[in-house]
């Protein structure tokens, strides 16, 4: 065994520690045992990486974690709305106005909100409200639902936007007949199939829907 080591060997070092130190020297040392290391490109990259890590750690310490948690909870509904309006497998244009109104309601400031979240809610509500009133001037105000609170799935965004259907006396007008329907589509039902099934009863409206619902709510290919 002694023949495997140099003369005057004091101790046998850990091989893993030895290898790790050589890598460390290649990343950080200009010379070792008076011999130049000559790894300038690697040390240049490592120097930048070290500064980035230091900056990240300092930045994390400066982050208001309570505010960050508030923001994550707040934007969850926006993420859900964006995904729903980006659906390429079914019509979405009819969902734009009610979902935007739902987001405006979501931006209502409460006493428990921090100052930072209040600022975000105020700004987003103002921008979204302007978007609605520009595209739909008659919808300058939207009253909250007058129906009693209902248990609605979080994923059913449109179900959270409207009153529960009310029974209305039918008249001999196509639009009035449609408004008097007591049928309510939930989020997972096919809106085009609904109009196909009712095309005989509402021929004009069905024709308009076929043209209108072909327009996507968003261009996900471009975005």
Q: 147 with 184, same domain?
A: yes
Q: Are residues 188 and 121 in the same domain?
A: yes
State pTM to two decimals: 0.49
pLDDT, residue 90, reads 75
Does residue 178 share a domain with residue 156?
yes
Q: Is residue 217, in this structure, part of any structural domain at all? A: no
Residue 56 DSSP one-character state: H
- Please answer whether residues 117 and 67 qualify as being in contact, where contact means their C-beta atoms are separated by less than 8 angstroms: yes
How many residues can be counted in the chain?
223
Q: Is residue 58 located within the same domain as residue 70?
A: no
Into how many domains does the chain fold? Answer: 2
Q: What is the pLDDT of residue 23?
A: 78
Give a yes or no: residue 148 inside a domain: yes
**The pLDDT of residue 171:** 37
**Residue range 40-83, pLDDT digits in tens:** 888 888 888 889 998 988 888 888 889 989 999 999 998 888 88
Residue 43 lies in a domain: yes
Residues 34, 77 share a domain:
no
Range of the domain at 142: 65-212
* pLDDT tier, 170 (very low <50, low <70, confident <90, very high otherwise): very low
Q: Phi-psi region for residue 110, left (φ > 0), alpha (ψ -120 to 50) or beta?
A: beta
| Shared-domain flag, residues 21 and 85 | no
């Amino acid at each position: 065994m002694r023949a495997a080591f140099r003369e005057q060997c004091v101790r046998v070092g850990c091989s893993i520690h030895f290898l790790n130190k050589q890598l460390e020297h290649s990343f950080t040392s200009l010379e070792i045992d008076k011999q130049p290391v000559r790894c300038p490109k690697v040390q240049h990259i490592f120097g930048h990486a070290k500064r980035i890590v230091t900056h990240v750690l300092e930045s994390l310490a400066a982050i208001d974690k309570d505010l960050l948690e508030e923001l994550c909870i707040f934007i969850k509904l926006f993420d859900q709305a964006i995904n729903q309006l980006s659906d390429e497998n079914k019509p979405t244009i009819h969902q734009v106005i009610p979902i935007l109104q739902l987001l405006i309601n979501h931006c209502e400031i409460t006493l428990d909100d921090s100052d930072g979240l209040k600022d975000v809610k105020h700004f987003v509500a103002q921008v979204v409200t302007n978007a609605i009133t520009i595209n739909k001037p008659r919808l300058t105000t939207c009253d909250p639902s007058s129906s009693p609170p209902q248990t609605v799935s979080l994923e059913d965004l449109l179900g959270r936007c409207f009153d529960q259907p009310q029974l209305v006396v039918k008249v001999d007008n196509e639009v009035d007949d449609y408004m008097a329907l007591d049928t309510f589509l939930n989020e997972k039902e096919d809106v085009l199939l609904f109009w196909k099934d009712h095309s005989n009863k509402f021929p004009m409206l069905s024709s308009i829907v076929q043209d209108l619902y072909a327009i996507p709510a968003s261009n996900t290919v471009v975005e």
